[in-house]
Every structure is written in structure tokens, then in C-alpha cells.
Amino acid sequence: MMEILDGVKLRIGLTDTMQDNLLNELIEDATARVLAYINQDGVINRTVPSAVTWVIKDVVVKMYNRIGDEGKAASGEGNVSNTWETIDLSKYADGLDVYRDSSQSRRPGMRFV
């Protein structure tokens, strides 16, 4: 988990430890989301494969950048505008589906993550 924390801090430009508790909370949430996505096919994985920790880092950075703006889809002021995308793990499907039991024969229908 320290590797993920260090990677996230590097990506968002933090060098101190003042935000570590918050970042660890976000890492736990993102990890739970990834595990929920991977475990949808009945095979229980209790740890995130190291090959997909990049997904957790990416999701945590997005979550961190949205703090204070959680409900917004977009905002603007003058010539500056910001747009926040929904944190949807299906966009990481190529990397995550490898760790799902039925990744070759995905069942149609709704999936809740």
C-alpha cells in the first residue's frame, strides 16, 4: 500500500505527510471498487493484483482532485472551465477483465460496481 501512496503523492505533487490519512482512505475505497469489479464472477480475490495497481492510482488521483466538487459535472469561471468525468471502472476493463474468471465470455446484462 505504501507504493500506491507514494505513487499517488508523486502524481499530485505532494511531498509531505499532511494528506496521508485522506489518501489512504481514498486508496482503500478505490481498492474496494477494483476488488468488487474483479470479484463479480464468483472467484474471490482478496488482494489486488500488482499489475493493476495503476488503476487504483488513477482512480485515487481523480477522487482527490474532485474533493470539494463531488457533485459537479462541470464548472467555469471566465475563460477557465473544468469538467469532471464519472469514476467508472468499466473504462479500465481491458486491464481488469484479465483477473475475472469469465473475462473471455462476458455475460450480457447490468453490472454494478
Confidence of residue 11 (pLDDT cuts 50, 70, 90): very high
Domain ranges of the chain: 2-12+20-73+88-98
16 or 110, which is more confident: 16
Residue 37 CA: distances (Å) to CA of 40, 55, 56, 80, 88: 6, 12, 12, 35, 10
Supply the pLDDT for residue 56: 95
Q: Which residue has the higher pLDDT, 109 or 53?
A: 53
Q: What is the mean pLDDT of residues 53-71?
A: 86
User: Given the C-alpha cell 474496494, which residue does it identify?
Assistant: 32
Higher-scoring residue by pLDDT: 44, 93? 93
What is the residue-averaged pLDDT of the chain? 82
Residue 101: pLDDT band (50, 70, 90) is low
User: Which residue, among 62, 52, 45, has the nearest Cα to 3 in the 3D structure?
Assistant: 52
**pLDDT attached to residue 81:** 72
